Amino acid sequence: MANHQQRKGRVITRYGAELLVEIDSDSENGGKELIRCTAKRKFDTVACGDDVVIALADHGNARLMDIAPRKNALTRPDYSHKLKTIAANIDQLVIIMSWRPDPFWELLDRYLVTAHLMDASAVIVMNKDDLADSYATDKAIENLAEYSQIGYTVLKTVADGGAEQRGMQALQKQLDNKINVLVGQSGVGKSSLATLLLPDVEIVVGEVSESGEGRHTTTTTRLYEMPSGGSLIDSPGVRDFVLPEMDELQLREGYREFSEYSPYCKFNNCSHAHEPGCKVREALDQGKLPPYRYKRYLKLLSGIH
Protein backbone atom coordinates (compact mmCIF):
# COMPACT_ATOMS: atom_id res chain seq x y z
CA MET A 1 0.00 0.00 0.00
CA ALA A 2 1.30 3.43 -0.86
CA ASN A 3 2.15 5.64 2.09
CA HIS A 4 -0.63 8.12 2.99
CA GLN A 5 -2.96 6.79 0.29
CA GLN A 6 -6.44 8.05 1.21
CA ARG A 7 -9.45 5.72 1.14
CA LYS A 8 -13.12 5.92 2.04
CA GLY A 9 -14.53 3.45 4.52
CA ARG A 10 -17.00 2.78 7.31
CA VAL A 11 -16.23 2.51 11.02
CA ILE A 12 -16.97 -1.03 12.19
CA THR A 13 -16.09 -0.54 15.85
CA ARG A 14 -14.15 1.74 18.17
CA TYR A 15 -11.80 0.96 21.04
CA GLY A 16 -10.88 4.27 22.68
CA ALA A 17 -8.76 6.19 20.16
CA GLU A 18 -8.47 3.17 17.84
CA LEU A 19 -10.96 2.17 15.16
CA LEU A 20 -11.55 -0.72 12.81
CA VAL A 21 -12.51 0.68 9.41
CA GLU A 22 -13.90 -1.41 6.56
CA ILE A 23 -12.72 -0.46 3.06
CA ASP A 24 -13.01 -2.02 -0.38
CA SER A 25 -10.16 -4.46 -0.90
CA ASP A 26 -7.52 -3.96 -3.60
CA SER A 27 -7.28 -7.70 -4.17
CA GLU A 28 -8.34 -9.29 -7.45
CA ASN A 29 -11.22 -11.01 -5.70
CA GLY A 30 -12.60 -7.72 -4.40
CA GLY A 31 -14.47 -7.92 -1.13
CA LYS A 32 -13.78 -5.94 2.02
CA GLU A 33 -10.72 -5.33 4.17
CA LEU A 34 -10.49 -4.26 7.81
CA ILE A 35 -7.94 -1.54 8.62
CA ARG A 36 -6.83 -0.56 12.12
CA CYS A 37 -6.89 3.20 12.42
CA THR A 38 -5.99 5.86 14.99
CA ALA A 39 -8.20 8.91 15.58
CA LYS A 40 -6.83 12.21 16.86
CA ARG A 41 -8.61 14.05 19.65
CA LYS A 42 -10.43 16.37 17.22
CA PHE A 43 -12.26 13.29 15.90
CA ASP A 44 -13.33 12.19 19.37
CA THR A 45 -16.99 11.95 18.32
CA VAL A 46 -16.35 9.27 15.67
CA ALA A 47 -18.58 6.22 16.19
CA CYS A 48 -19.60 2.87 14.78
CA GLY A 49 -21.38 3.40 11.44
CA ASP A 50 -19.63 6.65 10.53
CA ASP A 51 -18.45 7.05 6.94
CA VAL A 52 -14.85 8.24 7.05
CA VAL A 53 -11.72 8.99 5.04
CA ILE A 54 -8.49 7.38 6.26
CA ALA A 55 -4.84 7.67 5.20
CA LEU A 56 -3.15 4.29 4.85
CA ALA A 57 0.41 3.77 6.06
CA ASP A 58 3.17 1.34 5.16
CA HIS A 59 3.76 0.65 8.84
CA GLY A 60 1.51 0.99 11.88
CA ASN A 61 -2.05 2.20 12.05
CA ALA A 62 -3.78 4.21 9.36
CA ARG A 63 -4.91 7.73 10.33
CA LEU A 64 -8.44 9.11 10.41
CA MET A 65 -8.56 12.14 8.13
CA ASP A 66 -12.25 13.11 7.95
CA ILE A 67 -15.78 12.12 9.00
CA ALA A 68 -18.61 12.49 6.48
CA PRO A 69 -21.81 14.29 7.55
CA ARG A 70 -24.15 11.91 9.36
CA LYS A 71 -27.67 10.97 8.36
CA ASN A 72 -28.46 10.58 12.07
CA ALA A 73 -27.01 9.29 15.34
CA LEU A 74 -28.21 7.28 18.31
CA THR A 75 -26.88 8.83 21.52
CA ARG A 76 -26.98 8.26 25.27
CA PRO A 77 -25.48 10.13 28.24
CA ASP A 78 -22.11 8.96 29.57
CA TYR A 79 -21.04 8.96 33.23
CA SER A 80 -20.51 12.75 33.14
CA HIS A 81 -24.00 13.22 31.60
CA LYS A 82 -22.57 14.27 28.24
CA LEU A 83 -24.23 12.76 25.18
CA LYS A 84 -22.15 10.01 23.61
CA THR A 85 -22.86 8.64 20.14
CA ILE A 86 -23.58 4.90 20.18
CA ALA A 87 -23.94 4.48 16.41
CA ALA A 88 -24.41 6.63 13.31
CA ASN A 89 -26.20 6.49 9.94
CA ILE A 90 -28.94 4.10 11.07
CA ASP A 91 -31.84 3.07 8.84
CA GLN A 92 -33.82 1.13 11.43
CA LEU A 93 -34.05 0.65 15.18
CA VAL A 94 -34.76 -2.97 16.07
CA ILE A 95 -36.24 -2.71 19.55
CA ILE A 96 -35.98 -6.01 21.42
CA MET A 97 -38.43 -6.79 24.23
CA SER A 98 -39.16 -10.01 26.10
CA TRP A 99 -41.61 -11.46 28.59
CA ARG A 100 -38.71 -11.99 31.00
CA PRO A 101 -37.31 -9.61 32.12
CA ASP A 102 -40.68 -7.86 32.23
CA PRO A 103 -41.42 -5.51 29.31
CA PHE A 104 -40.34 -1.92 29.94
CA TRP A 105 -43.02 -0.13 27.92
CA GLU A 106 -41.83 3.38 28.69
CA LEU A 107 -38.38 2.50 27.35
CA LEU A 108 -40.00 1.18 24.18
CA ASP A 109 -41.92 4.44 23.74
CA ARG A 110 -38.72 6.43 24.18
CA TYR A 111 -37.03 4.42 21.47
CA LEU A 112 -39.97 4.94 19.10
CA VAL A 113 -39.93 8.71 19.61
CA THR A 114 -36.17 8.64 19.03
CA ALA A 115 -36.60 6.69 15.79
CA HIS A 116 -39.02 9.35 14.57
CA LEU A 117 -36.61 12.17 15.45
CA MET A 118 -33.81 10.29 13.65
CA ASP A 119 -35.99 9.74 10.57
CA ALA A 120 -35.36 6.02 10.98
CA SER A 121 -37.89 3.21 10.80
CA ALA A 122 -38.58 0.96 13.80
CA VAL A 123 -39.54 -2.66 14.30
CA ILE A 124 -40.58 -4.16 17.64
CA VAL A 125 -39.42 -7.71 18.40
CA MET A 126 -40.97 -9.62 21.31
CA ASN A 127 -38.31 -12.23 21.94
CA LYS A 128 -38.64 -15.29 24.21
CA ASP A 129 -42.21 -15.69 23.00
CA ASP A 130 -42.16 -19.25 24.35
CA LEU A 131 -42.35 -17.70 27.84
CA ALA A 132 -45.63 -15.92 27.10
CA ASP A 133 -47.80 -18.58 28.78
CA SER A 134 -45.77 -18.31 31.98
CA TYR A 135 -45.05 -14.59 32.22
CA ALA A 136 -47.29 -12.54 29.90
CA THR A 137 -50.12 -10.90 31.87
CA ASP A 138 -53.36 -9.84 30.22
CA LYS A 139 -52.36 -6.19 30.66
CA ALA A 140 -48.96 -6.80 29.06
CA ILE A 141 -50.60 -8.52 26.09
CA GLU A 142 -52.92 -5.53 25.69
CA ASN A 143 -49.94 -3.16 25.86
CA LEU A 144 -48.16 -5.04 23.07
CA ALA A 145 -51.30 -5.16 20.91
CA GLU A 146 -51.52 -1.34 20.99
CA TYR A 147 -48.37 -1.03 18.86
CA SER A 148 -49.76 -3.21 16.08
CA GLN A 149 -52.99 -1.21 16.20
CA ILE A 150 -51.15 2.05 15.44
CA GLY A 151 -49.14 0.56 12.58
CA TYR A 152 -45.83 -0.59 14.02
CA THR A 153 -44.40 -3.90 12.84
CA VAL A 154 -44.40 -6.31 15.79
CA LEU A 155 -42.61 -9.64 15.43
CA LYS A 156 -42.41 -12.54 17.88
CA THR A 157 -39.30 -14.66 18.10
CA VAL A 158 -37.69 -17.49 20.02
CA ALA A 159 -33.90 -17.49 19.83
CA ASP A 160 -32.63 -19.52 22.78
CA GLY A 161 -30.20 -21.60 20.73
CA GLY A 162 -32.20 -24.74 21.38
CA ALA A 163 -34.28 -26.85 19.04
CA GLU A 164 -37.12 -24.34 18.98
CA GLN A 165 -36.44 -21.21 16.98
CA ARG A 166 -39.35 -19.10 15.86
CA GLY A 167 -39.89 -16.00 13.77
CA MET A 168 -36.31 -15.66 12.52
CA GLN A 169 -37.20 -15.71 8.83
CA ALA A 170 -39.67 -12.84 9.25
CA LEU A 171 -37.10 -10.88 11.27
CA GLN A 172 -34.38 -11.45 8.68
CA LYS A 173 -36.66 -10.16 5.94
CA GLN A 174 -37.36 -7.02 7.98
CA LEU A 175 -33.63 -6.30 8.34
CA ASP A 176 -32.51 -6.92 4.77
CA ASN A 177 -30.83 -4.06 2.91
CA LYS A 178 -30.87 -1.74 5.92
CA ILE A 179 -28.36 -0.58 8.53
CA ASN A 180 -30.00 -1.87 11.68
CA VAL A 181 -29.18 -1.37 15.35
CA LEU A 182 -30.38 -3.73 18.06
CA VAL A 183 -31.52 -1.90 21.18
CA GLY A 184 -33.36 -2.85 24.36
CA GLN A 185 -32.89 -3.48 28.05
CA SER A 186 -30.40 -6.09 29.22
CA GLY A 187 -31.41 -9.73 29.26
CA VAL A 188 -34.01 -9.60 26.47
CA GLY A 189 -31.87 -11.68 24.10
CA LYS A 190 -30.22 -9.17 21.77
CA SER A 191 -27.03 -11.22 21.59
CA SER A 192 -28.93 -14.48 21.08
CA LEU A 193 -30.81 -12.94 18.14
CA ALA A 194 -27.59 -11.51 16.72
CA THR A 195 -25.98 -14.95 16.93
CA LEU A 196 -28.72 -16.45 14.75
CA LEU A 197 -28.67 -13.53 12.31
CA LEU A 198 -24.86 -13.73 12.05
CA PRO A 199 -24.07 -17.47 12.11
CA ASP A 200 -20.38 -17.01 11.24
CA VAL A 201 -19.69 -14.50 14.04
CA GLU A 202 -18.93 -15.40 17.65
CA ILE A 203 -21.07 -13.24 19.93
CA VAL A 204 -21.04 -13.60 23.71
CA VAL A 205 -24.48 -14.54 24.99
CA GLY A 206 -25.57 -13.74 28.55
CA GLU A 207 -28.28 -15.07 30.79
CA VAL A 208 -31.10 -13.68 32.89
CA SER A 209 -30.59 -13.99 36.65
CA GLU A 210 -33.15 -15.61 38.93
CA SER A 211 -34.53 -12.15 39.76
CA GLY A 212 -35.35 -11.59 36.10
CA GLU A 213 -32.69 -8.90 35.69
CA GLY A 214 -30.58 -9.06 32.57
CA ARG A 215 -26.80 -9.15 32.58
CA HIS A 216 -24.77 -7.05 30.18
CA THR A 217 -22.90 -9.11 27.58
CA THR A 218 -21.86 -6.97 24.62
CA THR A 219 -19.15 -4.50 25.71
CA THR A 220 -18.36 -2.69 22.46
CA THR A 221 -20.69 -1.46 19.72
CA ARG A 222 -19.85 -3.21 16.46
CA LEU A 223 -21.24 -3.30 12.92
CA TYR A 224 -21.54 -6.65 11.12
CA GLU A 225 -22.40 -7.30 7.49
CA MET A 226 -25.28 -9.77 7.25
CA PRO A 227 -25.07 -12.66 4.74
CA SER A 228 -28.41 -11.75 3.16
CA GLY A 229 -27.55 -8.08 2.74
CA GLY A 230 -27.70 -5.10 5.04
CA SER A 231 -25.83 -4.54 8.28
CA LEU A 232 -26.44 -5.22 11.94
CA ILE A 233 -25.08 -3.06 14.76
CA ASP A 234 -24.85 -4.91 18.07
CA SER A 235 -24.61 -2.46 20.96
CA PRO A 236 -24.27 -2.75 24.75
CA GLY A 237 -27.53 -3.08 26.65
CA VAL A 238 -29.14 0.21 27.62
CA ARG A 239 -31.07 -0.05 30.89
CA ASP A 240 -32.15 3.60 31.02
CA PHE A 241 -32.49 5.36 27.70
CA VAL A 242 -32.75 9.13 27.98
CA LEU A 243 -34.50 10.97 25.18
CA PRO A 244 -32.43 13.59 23.38
CA GLU A 245 -33.31 17.21 24.05
CA MET A 246 -36.64 18.04 22.43
CA ASP A 247 -39.58 20.36 22.73
CA GLU A 248 -43.27 19.53 23.08
CA LEU A 249 -43.83 19.64 19.34
CA GLN A 250 -41.15 17.03 18.66
CA LEU A 251 -42.54 14.75 21.36
CA ARG A 252 -46.09 15.05 20.01
CA GLU A 253 -44.93 14.28 16.49
CA GLY A 254 -43.17 11.18 17.84
CA TYR A 255 -46.58 9.70 18.67
CA ARG A 256 -47.80 8.65 15.24
CA GLU A 257 -51.33 7.85 16.43
CA PHE A 258 -51.95 11.55 17.15
CA SER A 259 -51.38 12.67 13.55
CA GLU A 260 -54.88 11.78 12.33
CA TYR A 261 -56.53 14.00 14.94
CA SER A 262 -54.08 16.72 16.01
CA PRO A 263 -54.59 18.99 12.93
CA TYR A 264 -58.19 19.51 14.06
CA CYS A 265 -57.44 20.56 17.64
CA LYS A 266 -58.77 23.99 18.62
CA PHE A 267 -55.24 25.27 19.33
CA ASN A 268 -52.31 24.85 16.96
CA ASN A 269 -49.94 24.24 19.88
CA CYS A 270 -52.28 21.86 21.72
CA SER A 271 -50.32 19.58 24.05
CA HIS A 272 -53.15 16.99 24.03
CA ALA A 273 -53.02 17.03 27.82
CA HIS A 274 -55.64 19.51 29.10
CA GLU A 275 -56.67 22.08 26.46
CA PRO A 276 -60.34 22.47 25.46
CA GLY A 277 -61.23 21.38 21.95
CA CYS A 278 -58.48 18.73 21.83
CA LYS A 279 -59.37 16.18 19.15
CA VAL A 280 -56.70 13.75 20.38
CA ARG A 281 -58.32 13.45 23.82
CA GLU A 282 -61.71 13.28 22.14
CA ALA A 283 -60.51 10.32 20.06
CA LEU A 284 -59.08 8.76 23.22
CA ASP A 285 -62.44 9.06 24.99
CA GLN A 286 -64.09 7.41 21.97
CA GLY A 287 -61.71 4.44 22.20
CA LYS A 288 -59.89 5.30 18.98
CA LEU A 289 -56.45 5.71 20.58
CA PRO A 290 -54.45 3.28 22.75
CA PRO A 291 -54.95 4.28 26.41
CA TYR A 292 -51.74 2.84 27.87
CA ARG A 293 -49.62 4.66 25.30
CA TYR A 294 -51.43 7.92 26.05
CA LYS A 295 -50.76 7.65 29.80
CA ARG A 296 -47.06 7.17 29.12
CA TYR A 297 -47.12 10.13 26.72
CA LEU A 298 -48.36 12.35 29.56
CA LYS A 299 -45.51 11.11 31.76
CA LEU A 300 -42.91 11.90 29.08
CA LEU A 301 -44.55 15.27 28.46
CA SER A 302 -44.30 16.20 32.13
CA GLY A 303 -40.60 15.34 32.06
CA ILE A 304 -39.66 17.97 29.47
CA HIS A 305 -41.22 20.95 31.29
For residue 7, how many other CB atoms are within 10 A of its CB? 18
Classify domain 248-302 at the CATH superfamily level. Answer: Probable gtpase engc; domain 3 (1.10.40.50)
Instruction: Specify the CATH number for 73-234; select among 3.40.50.1000, 3.30.750.24, 3.40.50.300, 2.60.120.10.
Output: 3.40.50.300
Answer whether 251's CB lies under 8 Å from 293's CB. Answer: no
Fold match between domain 6-67 and domain 248-302:
no
At 2 the pLDDT is 47
Residue 206 CA to residue 97 CA, distance in Å, equals 15
* DSSP-based three-state secondary structure for 49: coil
* DSSP-based three-state secondary structure for 134: helix
Spell out the domain ranges in the chain.
6-67, 73-234, 248-302
* Chunked mean pLDDT (size 10), the chain, 305 residues: 78 92 83 91 93 93 96 85 88 95 94 95 96 96 97 93 78 95 89 87 50 48 88 73 82 96 96 97 98 97 84
Positive or negative, the Cα torsion across 103, 107, 112, 115?
negative
* DSSP-based three-state secondary structure for 10: strand
* DSSP-based three-state secondary structure for 181: strand
Residue 6 phi, psi (nearest 5): -95, 135
Predicted structure pTM score? 0.87
Residue 304 CA to residue 245 CA, distance in Å, equals 8
Q: CATH assignment of 6-67?
A: 2.40.50.140
CA-based nearest residue to 89, from 229, 196, 230, 254:
230
At 53 the pLDDT is 97
CA-based nearest residue to 254, from 48, 100, 108:
108
The DSSP result for 66-121, as a single string, is EEPPPS-EEEEE-TTS-EEEEEES-SEEEEEEESSSPP-HHHHHHHHHHHHHHT-E
At 274 the pLDDT is 95
